[in-house]
Amino acid sequence: MNHTIDSIRGELLAKKRSAEEVAREALNFAEAENPKTNAYLTFAPERALAAAREVDRKIAANEDPGPLAGVPIAIKDVILTRGLRTTCASRMLENYIPPYDATAVIRIEQAGGVIIGKTNCDEFAMGSSNENSAFGPVRNPVALDRVPGGSSGGSAAVIAQGTAVLSLGSDTGGSIRQPASFCGVTGVTPTYGRVSRYGLTAFASSLDHIGPFSRTVRDSARLLQVMAGRDEMDSTSALAPVPDYVAALDGNIHGMKIGIPKEFFDGLASDTGDIIQAAIATLQKLGCEIREVTLPHTAYAVGCYYIICTAEASSNLARYDGVRYTRRSAAAGSLQEMYRKTRDEGFGAECKRRIMLGTYVLSAGYYDAYYLKAQKVRALVAKDYAQAFEQVDAIVGPVSPFPAFKLGEKVDDPTSMYLSDIYTVTGDLAGIPCMSVPAGRTADGLPVGLQVIANHFNETAMFRVADAFEKVSSY
Amino acid sequence: MKITEQEVRRVAELANLALTEDEIVRMTQDMDGILTHIDKLSELDTSNVEPMSQVLYDSEETATLRADIERKPLGNADALANAPVSGQGYYKVPLVIEK
């Protein structure tokens, strides 16, 4: 499928096809293609067809079918869907059936979106390669022997593979942008609080975001438009009004000031560096004013991030104790044994590593040295961006130091895997909107994304730069 | 070494994880590698920096409060539907206090 929101809308309104036909075709194609990549964990034919029939009814009755009318959408399996299995790619939640929908899911379906299935990811969204899924890794559709990135690997892969038109991911330290870059699709991490997290399984609450994947910048802007805005079920969702993102996409970015952080170009693989430099030259040709900026605390961001995210994860994952969430060890005798054995059997290696690290940094005697220190460094990282945005409208750079790597290549070295998050974690720590837009391919044909970063609630500037770039590039 | 096997055992107890001997050895190596990288943060003087615990935006103190309107909560049966063991409207766990 090479559809966009507009192409499907056009067909539906011209009565060329019904939404039900679109949904059936999407489900059939996705189910047939899935063995190649393992990107979907669960399909939702009944739910999809019911949603599609409702769109058809509205069109027949001349009612507005909504901005996402009939569009096949895949949802990362950490986002709750009522009555539809939601596993977080973990043995712990293998049989978990959520009793309610996430707010983002409700808004998508109210807008006419057709949810066709749930996508694979790293267990509880912890990982950068999708190899930490309890249900097997996802393969990158562009190169099947390589990882799709993580943690939202399945959500990026379904867009690259054409088995969904839109998808949702979650981003805590780069989990939307890095797989978008690896799979050659568009992926957006909005401002912290822009999209309600009600119904997003909590990993690190001060860093978690929900965001869209799509083939075009315009489609991501549309999907964000539908989801963004205050939700009283999430007290951290922002009150700021939501502007019309798509209306601002006129392709004209003449005179915009674009910052290039020099710290983002140390240790960059040469192919990736060349592609990013070419993208900067393209922005200059489009009339942007290119300025060097400095984000001096970048080198401390990974250490800061892995203290904060593991500390918060160790608290958030304490709830999986064998009492409420489906799994309880059969070997349990006492209450204490039940907790320990359930968690030992239910969690994979990466989750255990992060729970352990988080418990350690929060334990008596270490709090000041680790957690408090990290919160102070986080303030410095955020200040770097605040100062840079006094001089520029947007910042661009790489998403990842290298393109998609081979399956198994980095699984035995967690520290080196963590360090590859260097260019993405700073945006999450500051809470600012960031996205990846396809910028080119290496000599081996592997996609490389350009990261576009803007100030809090200035998604419009971010989308304008990415959209203007997309219009003149052909990736 | 930043962390010993003995400390890892203690942390596993705090985290309610039953790690095997092999897992303890591997975990000690992995945590040591990450904590060694994290040590880099001590290069920074942060004595005059306010910690950032959340991304916060300016608004009135009560702006995020919802209207005080009664709402129907999730029912008992729905709430218990995912419990591994339940009965009489409650979650069931192994015996905690002996008679």
Does residue B18 sit within a domain? Answer: yes
ipTM score here? 0.95
In chain A, how many domains are there?
1
Does residue A400 sit within a domain? Answer: no
Does B77 lie at the interface with A, CB-CB under 8 angstroms? Answer: no
Does B85 lie at the interface with A, CB-CB under 8 angstroms? Answer: yes
* Residue A151 designated active-site: yes
State the count of interchain CB pairs (< 8 A) between A and B. Answer: 157
Instruction: Report how far residue B61's alpha carbon sits from residue B49's, in angstroms, rounded to the nearest whole number.
Output: 24
Do A326 and A95 form a contact (C-beta atoms < 8 A)? yes
Does B24 lie at the interface with A, CB-CB under 8 angstroms? Answer: no
Given the residues A129, A155, A167, A175, select the one marked as catalytic.
Answer: A175
Contact list in A for residue B68 (CB cut-off 8 A) is none
Cα A233 to Cα A171, A197, B64, B77: the distances in Å are 20, 9, 10, 21
Residue of A nearest to B27 (CA): A353
Contact B53 A240 (CB under 8 A): no
Closest Cα in chain B, distance from residue A71 (Å):
30
**Angle in degrees, CA A294, A295, A299, rounded to 5:** 130
**Tens digit of pLDDT for each residue in B75-93?**
999 999 999 999 999 999 9
DSSP of A216-254:
SHHHHHHHHHHHBS--TT-TTS--SPPP-TGGG--S--T
* Residue A235 designated active-site: no
Residue of B nearest to A354 (CA): B31
Does residue A369 sit within a domain? Answer: no
Does residue B16 sit within a domain? Answer: yes
Any idea what the CATH number is for the domain that residue A159 is in? 3.90.1300.10
In this prediction the pTM is 0.97
Closest Cα in chain B, distance from residue A255 (Å):
29
Does residue A170 sit within a domain? Answer: yes
pLDDT at A460 over 80: yes
Q: How confident is the model at residue A223 (pLDDT cuts 50, 70, 90)?
A: very high
Any idea what the CATH number is for the domain that residue B15 is in? 1.10.20
Contact B33 A430 (CB under 8 A): no
Give the domain extent around B30. Answer: 5-40
Does residue A312 sit within a domain? Answer: no
Closest Cα in chain B, distance from residue A431 (Å):
6
The single-letter DSSP state of residue A140 is B
Does residue B26 sit within a domain? Answer: yes
Does residue A330 sit within a domain? Answer: no
Mean pLDDT, all residues of chain A: 96
Residue A62 backbone zone (phi > 0: left; psi -120 to 50: alpha; other: beta): left
Do A19 and A52 form a contact (C-beta atoms < 8 A)? yes
Does residue B60 sit within a domain? Answer: no
Does residue B66 sit within a domain? Answer: no
What count of Cα atoms within 13 Å lies in the side-chain half-sphere of residue A127? 34
Give the domain extent around A192. Answer: 5-248
Tokens at residue B65, please? Answer: 């409060």
Does B25 lie at the interface with A, CB-CB under 8 angstroms? Answer: no
Does B79 lie at the interface with A, CB-CB under 8 angstroms? Answer: yes
**Tens digit of pLDDT for each residue in A83-112?**
999 999 999 999 999 999 999 999 999 999
**Tens digit of pLDDT for each residue in A101-155?**
999 999 999 999 999 999 999 999 999 999 999 999 999 999 999 999 999 999 9
* Residue A76 designated active-site: yes
In chain B, how many domains are there?
1
Contact list in B for residue A315 (CB cut-off 8 A) is none
What confidence score (pLDDT) does residue A182 get? 98
Does residue A166 sit within a domain? Answer: yes
Closest CA to A349 of A359, A338, A360, A357: A357
